[in-house]
């Protein structure tokens, strides 16, 4: 047991130092993007899928509050873990994977669910709205923040609505789903596009353009009222340079994932 405690403690220290390194890189990228005048740093969502609760507690203890998960059942179980509930009371969960209709009810039962980043259809928006109205969070006046996921790279294996569907989906959400609030747009984009050019990614540019068209079409005021969630471990600095306000970083903080389970 003592040896086990030692390895957990060492792992925790490692997670904390990697987290600090990522936060420094975010700050540097934001400063470079704004010419040193960044008012607010982009939000870091630490992606903890397949990772043990001890890693989440270590990152939380080091100051991290927003965590992302890709699988509804794994997120549900982690959010209901007594250890998470007692040691991470202010944790804010983001769901960043594809959610099938049959899993929407379970997703709405996640403790401290802050944001659903992958709404890509009216059907999913309607189901989320319906289930969220049954939660205690909604009863206490809390809307569920959502991002519309856009398939900017037009890859068949990726989820997300097409760029030309964004205005219609956002309009539907704003008119018919008062239990959920539109926080912004999200894309995964092509990693190849990030690696091909150091100064830009065409998929990220498309998301920026989608936001511009959306705010103009629905007269939503300034573009900055809608967030952009883009950028992961291998390209988050480029995403920040291009305007991302929310980056999803997993393996750079927690190490390689173990899918054997």
Q: Output the pLDDT for position 194.
A: 62
125 within a domain of the structure (yes/no) = yes
Task: Please indicate, yes or no, if residue 256 is contained in any of the structural domains.
Answer: no
User: Per the domain annotation, does 138 fall within a domain?
Assistant: yes
Q: What local confidence, expressed as pLDDT, does residue 249 receive?
A: 98
What's the pLDDT at 5? 44
Per-block average pLDDT, block size 10, for the chain (261 residues)?
A: 44 92 97 83 97 97 98 98 98 98 98 98 98 96 97 93 97 97 94 70 96 94 92 94 97 87 54
50 within some domain: yes
Chain-centroid distance of CA 233 in Å reads 13
Q: ∠ at Cα 225 (238, 60), nearest 5°?
A: 60
Q: How many CB atoms lie within 10 A of CB 176?
A: 12
Per-residue confidence (pLDDT) for residue 9, from 0 to 100? 47
> In terms of residue numbers, what domain contains 135?
1-249
Residue 220: the pLDDT is: 86
Residue 128 near residue 116, CB atoms below 8 Å? yes
Q: Provide the CATH number for the domain around residue 218.
A: 3.20.20.10
Residues 186 and 120: their CA atoms lie apart, in Å, by: 10
For residue 218, count CB atoms less than 10 angstroms from its CB and return exposed for 0-12, middle for 13-18, buried for 19 or more.
Answer: middle
Q: Is residue 260 part of a domain?
A: no
pLDDT single digits (tens) 93-137: 999 999 999 999 999 999 999 999 999 999 999 999 999 999 999
pTM of the full structure: 0.93
Residue 259: inside a domain: no
- Report phi then psi at 2, rounded to 5: -60, -40
For residue 156, is it within any domain? yes
Domain presence at residue 261? no
54, two tokens? 């001890």
User: Shortest CA distance to 93 belongs to which of 83, 79, 81?
Assistant: 79
The residues that bridge with 182 in the sheet, in sequence order, are 146
Q: What total of structural domains would you count in the chain?
A: 1
């Amino acid at each position: 047991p003592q040896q086990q405690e030692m390895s957990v403690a060492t792992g925790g220290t490692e997670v904390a130092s990697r987290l600090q390194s990522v936060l420094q890189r975010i700050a540097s990228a934001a400063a470079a993007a704004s010419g040193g005048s960044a008012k607010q740093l982009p939000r870091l969502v630490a992606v903890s899928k397949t990772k043990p609760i001890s890693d989440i507690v270590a990152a939380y203890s080091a100051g991290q509050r927003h965590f992302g998960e890709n699988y509804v059942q794994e997120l549900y179980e982690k959010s209901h873990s007594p250890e998470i509930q007692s040691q991470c009371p202010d944790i804010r969960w983001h769901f960043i994977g594809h959610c099938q209709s049959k899993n929407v009810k379970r997703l709405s039962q996640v403790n401290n669910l802050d944001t659903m980043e992958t709404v890509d259809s009216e059907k999913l928006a309607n189901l989320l709205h319906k289930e969220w109205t049954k939660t205690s969070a909604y009863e206490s006046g809390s809307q569920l923040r959502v991002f519309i996921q856009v398939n900017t790279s037009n890859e068949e294996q990726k989820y997300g609505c097409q760029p030309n569907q964004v205005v219609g989906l956002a309009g539907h959400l704003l008119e018919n789903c008062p239990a959920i609030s539109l926080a912004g747009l999200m894309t995964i984009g092509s990693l190849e596009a990030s690696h091909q050019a150091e100064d830009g990614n065409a998929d990220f540019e498309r998301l920026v353009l989608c936001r511009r068209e959306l705010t103009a079409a629905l007269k939503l005021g300034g573009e900055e009222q809608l967030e952009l969630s883009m950028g992961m471990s291998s390209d988050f600095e480029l995403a920040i340079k291009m305007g991302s306000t929310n980056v999803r970083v997993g393996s750079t903080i927690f190490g390689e994932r173990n899918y054997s389970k």
